[in-house]
Structure 1
Amino acid sequence: MRSKEGFIFNNKLLDWGIHYCSKIVKENNIIGYHAPILNLDEKESISILKNIIENIKGRDYLTIHLHNGKNKDIDKELLVENLMIINEFAQKNNLKLCIENLRHGFSSNPNNITEIADEVNCFITFDIGHIPYDNRLEFLEICSDRIYNSHVYEIEKDGKHLPPKNLNNLKPILDALLDVKCEMFLIELMDIRDILKTEKMIKEYLETYR
């Protein structure tokens, strides 16, 4: 479940992602986290992410943004340098680092995010709703070798994540994700009713998948 405010665990860890909703998942069953939105070409991001990694030892992965998605010139050399430091630190702590594709800016280009993941040797969180319907399969083809998990919802519009009414638009990309062995679907919605309805649809879909 996504939260604008984030979730606090043990009075010290802030998770801005969808990976925890107390009505669905118990805290001791959490497997991954989503970091706050940062710009990775800024040095202060290193200490923030290292601190998060220190606090989630024993979990499986951490998803991060490379930037805040706003129009801003990216210092790619510094971004890669900082990301390498963070990824090496994550690997030492047995944590998979995943970078997420965004709707706008540098990370909205599949070639950019794949090139970065290859250079740094990290993973990708594939956010379905950040990609226009007609571009989703092409985007996946470019970055499929690096995908570890996927954020699932209909689409992001005017800053809001919309729930699917049915899986007509999602089925082609869900099929393709399963074909490339991405089997971790995270429902990125804010309303518990929307989450449960989407979960039900996805479970039914998975039962009939090929």
Structure 2
Amino acid sequence: MTPFTTLTGIAAPLPMANVDTDKIIPGRFLKTIERKGLGKSLFADMRYDDDGREKPDFVLNQEPYRRAEVLIAYENFGCGSSREHAPWALVDFGIRCVIAPDFADIFNNNCTKNGLLPVRLPHEVCERLMQQSRMGANARITVDLQRQVVIGADGEEHHFEVDPLRKERLLQGLDDIGETMRLSPAIDTYETRVRAERPWLEAIP
């Protein structure tokens, strides 16, 4: 998993509340367990018409937001079903951070397990950041996880809270498997000691 430290990039405004996971990645695209390739289906029902052509009025079909690394939305982002494909699709598109007033709990958990940083900021701050993002490619937003601040295009800093354990895992680029593998020496030591102390366990089928 790619570590998340400091990100400076284009932010795409999505002025919508209650964006559920079916909007983020519609159910018909959940036939794969591969994380790659889902970015093209991100927000598919909003990005494409019935013939598969891009809708020019959707933000991610416009320049410079095709290259967005930050997405700004309103309340209850990621509600609905618990599909992990939602953060997979966002990350595959190139989004590394979503800023919103709040997130659905399961989506929030899935994000941090996949290198995607969910940042909670008050509605009025999200509104200001959206206004700045509409200035185009020059209006870049910086997200500094170590300092826990979002720096708007106007230079103003906005502090956000993050769980210390999740912060450390994002900074280190560790998912659940990576966290376990980091403990491999201790696990190996324990298993060696148990085999020596209780050799009869080896005989249990």
Class of the TM-score when normalised by the shorter of the 2 chains:
0.3 to 0.5
Q: TM-score, normalised by structure 1?
A: 0.34
Structure with greater Cα Rg: 2
Q: TM-score, normalised by structure 2?
A: 0.34
